[in-house]
């Protein structure tokens, strides 16, 4: 434990502000009730526009860097509220976002647990791709991959979606539309719409591949969404075109509508230049 604390102190002195607070209530969950020694994390109070998004990003960093491992619980709501200096609703919204990304699951009687998929073959890619270090070319390359994956997902969804899948797609589209009309941030609703399409494709490997790419481009895309007033309305219109094609069971139209949606995002990124210059 002394070694863990010493290591934490070194990391904090090198990479974090004096506001950082060590925090852990994690532990690997197992049927036998055993738990690992508490692992300190490096959370700090959030700032800027979206507190819940800031909280989500810091928890995501802990997961990516392996300080909170698959099968381990996140710290309790109370401890996260204290560490981040935020209210309960902010913590809950951040955790919901992690659930949306497929990185955390809520287990009854246990709490929020890091998903096993974090240790899948895709995990090493997650750890090695840091969106903060991506330049415009790398982001556009990721969007190329996203186009290849999500167009196929839309095509499969048009062929394979069940009645329940279609109902979920309609629900998530309306949620995005509602948030946009109210002028609110809709990052999580947007992610849920795309996740619903991937789910409707009924190919788990494709769905996880899409999730990986979406996670990597999310942060810069959110920055653009804040700075581009017409982007939310455009997203709603393009989402509707995708949804309508899937409902009509038209794979070609669904694929083309998704391709148009991803390419319009690429054009916006091209117009913004490198993220580290903004």
What is the DSSP track for 119-157?
A: GSTTHHHHHH--GGG--HHHHHHHHHHHHHHHHHHHHHH
pTM of the model: 0.59
What pLDDT shows up at residue 182? 87
Of 147, 158, 162, nearest to 254 by C-alpha is 158
What pLDDT shows up at residue 71? 87
C-alpha 192/C-alpha 142 separation (Å) is 19
What pLDDT shows up at residue 194? 93
Structural domains of the chain ordered from first start? 2-7+15-119 (1.10.10.10), 129-277 (1.20.120.530)
What pLDDT shows up at residue 216? 65
What pLDDT shows up at residue 11? 35
What pLDDT shows up at residue 37? 41
The DSSP 8-state label assigned to residue 278 in this structure reads -
What pLDDT shows up at residue 177? 94
C-alpha 198/C-alpha 172 separation (Å) is 13
C-alpha 47/C-alpha 53 separation (Å) is 10
Q: Which portions of the chain are predicted below pLDDT 70?
A: 1-50, 101, 117-136, 215-230, 272-278
Q: For 39, left (φ over 0), alpha (ψ -120 to 50), or beta?
A: beta
The count of residues in the chain is: 278
* Number of helical (H) and strand (E) elements in the chain, helices listed first: 11, 4
Q: Which two tokens stand for residue 78?
A: 């109370």
pLDDT tens, residue by residue, 48-69:
446 887 888 888 888 877 788 8
C-alpha 254/C-alpha 157 separation (Å) is 8
For residue 177, count other CB atoms closer than 10 A to its CB: 20
What pLDDT shows up at residue 46? 53
What pLDDT shows up at residue 173? 97
C-alpha 88/C-alpha 72 separation (Å) is 21
């Amino acid at each position: 434990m002394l070694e863990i604390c010493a290591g934490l102190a070194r990391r904090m002195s090198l990479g974090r502000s004096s506001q950082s607070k060590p925090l852990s209530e994690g532990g690997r969950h197992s049927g036998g009730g055993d738990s690992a020694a508490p692992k300190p994390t490096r959370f700090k109070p959030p700032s800027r526009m979206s507190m819940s998004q800031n909280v989500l990003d810091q928890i995501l960093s802990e997961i990516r860097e392996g300080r909170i491992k698959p099968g381990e619980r996140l710290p309790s709501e109370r401890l996260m509220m204290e560490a981040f200096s935020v209210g309960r609703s902010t913590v809950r919204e951040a955790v919901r976002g992690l659930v949306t990304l497929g990185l955390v699951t809520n287990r009854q009687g246990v709490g929020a647990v890091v998903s096993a998929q974090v240790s899948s073959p895709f995990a090493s890619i997650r750890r090695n791709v840091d969106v903060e270090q991506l330049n415009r070319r790398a982001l556009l390359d990721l969007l190329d991959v996203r186009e290849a994956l999500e167009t196929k997902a839309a095509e499969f969804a048009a062929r394979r979606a069940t009645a329940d899948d279609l109902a979920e797609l309609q629900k998530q589209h309306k949620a995005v539309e509602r948030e946009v009309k109210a002028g609110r941030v809709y990052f999580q609703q947007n992610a849920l719409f795309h996740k619903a399409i991937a789910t409707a494709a009924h190919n788990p490997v494709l769905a996880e591949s899409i999730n990986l790419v979406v996670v990597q481009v999310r942060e810069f895309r959110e920055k653009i969404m804040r700075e581009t007033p017409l982007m939310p309305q455009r997203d709603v219109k393009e989402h509707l075109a995708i949804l309508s094609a899937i409902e009509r069971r038209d794979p070609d139209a669904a694929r083309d509508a998704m391709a148009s949606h991803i390419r319009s995002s690429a054009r916006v990124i091209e117009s913004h230049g490198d993220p580290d210059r903004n």
